[in-house]
């Protein structure tokens, strides 16, 4: 079946603008995760949803970052007043989180460049 | 100390050889362990998960977990050029927040 999809795949924005990154999880997956990956590093946890509830947002760097998943499916990660240090690959993952599997499957990512 | 540490690499092995990747973690309460493969410019792809001590085999891949020593390893048997990638070790104590190592880059020489 279809995997995790993310859009846009590439986003170039000017410093100070707001951006919204979208994630569409694998159909039926109840859990959704956002990570950020710097070049040469592993992904770093940002936030996690179980259905529509945001269960953990401890990894969000500051209050310019927010995420929502209003209907328990598609999620949006919003960065307000972007700064150059926000430039990175933003990755979304989803998981069925049944009692047998906590495996997370990643989407292709959104490459954000703040100029 | 980093939460998850991997061999810095790069690791170069001849085709047909065994590639051995190691990962240590600092959180003793960690419950679930994963290996992801990431080709250059692509997203991480889950290749192995392991939850209990011992070995788990899947095709040419074997994951080994030793919770007492806080390490998890990945063996790739009969390495192929298509195995050339960065391998990421991921660990979680709560089954949702994955902590990743920086990855080990493997190059398989034809």
CB contact under 8 A, A104 and B100: no
What does the H/E/C string look like for chain B? CCCEEECCCCEEEECCCCEEEEEEECCCCCCEEEEEEECCCCCCEEEEEECCCEEEEECCEEEEEECCCCEEEEEECCCCHHHCEEEEEEEECCCCCCEECCCEEEEEEC
What pLDDT is attached to residue A98? 63
* Percent of chain B whose pLDDT exceeds 90: 85
- Min Cα separation B78/chain A (Å): 26
Q: Is B80 left (phi over 0), alpha (psi -120 to 50) or beta?
A: beta
Write down the residue that tokens 């990743």 correspond to. Answer: B100
Summarised one tens digit per residue, pLDDT across range A52-111 is: 999 999 999 999 999 999 999 999 999 999 999 999 999 999 998 665 567 999 999 999
- Min Cα separation B29/chain A (Å): 16
What pLDDT is attached to residue A39? 92
Q: Is A90 on the interface with B (CB under 8 A)?
A: no
Q: What is the mean pLDDT of chain B?
A: 94
């Amino acid at each position: 079946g279809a995997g995790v999809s993310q859009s846009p795949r590439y986003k170039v924005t000017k410093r100070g603008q707001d951006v919204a990154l979208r994630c569409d999880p694998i159909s039926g997956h109840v859990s959704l995760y956002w990570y950020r990956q710097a070049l040469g590093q592993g992904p770093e946890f940002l936030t996690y949803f179980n259905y529509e509830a945001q269960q953990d947002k401890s990894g969000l760097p500051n209050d310019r970052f927010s995420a929502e998943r209003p209907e328990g499916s598609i999620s949006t990660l919003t960065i307000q007043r972007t700064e150059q240090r926000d430039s990175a690959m933003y990755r979304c993952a989803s998981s069925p989180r049944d009692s047998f599997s906590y495996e997370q499957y990643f989407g292709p990512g959104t490459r954000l460049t703040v100029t | 100390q980093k939460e998850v540490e991997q061999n810095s690499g790069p690791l170069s092995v001849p085709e047909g050889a065994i590639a051995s990747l190691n990962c240590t973690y600092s959180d003793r309460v960690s419950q679930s362990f994963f290996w992801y493969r990431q080709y250059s410019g692509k997203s991480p792809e889950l290749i192995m998960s392991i939850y209990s001590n011992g070995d788990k085999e899947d095709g040419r891949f074997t994951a080994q977990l030793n919770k007492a020593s806080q390490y998890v390893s990945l063996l790739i048997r009969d390495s192929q050029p298509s195995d050339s990638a960065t391998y990421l070790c991921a660990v979680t104590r709560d089954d949702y927040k994955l902590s990743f190592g920086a990855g080990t880059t493997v190059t398989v020489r034809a």
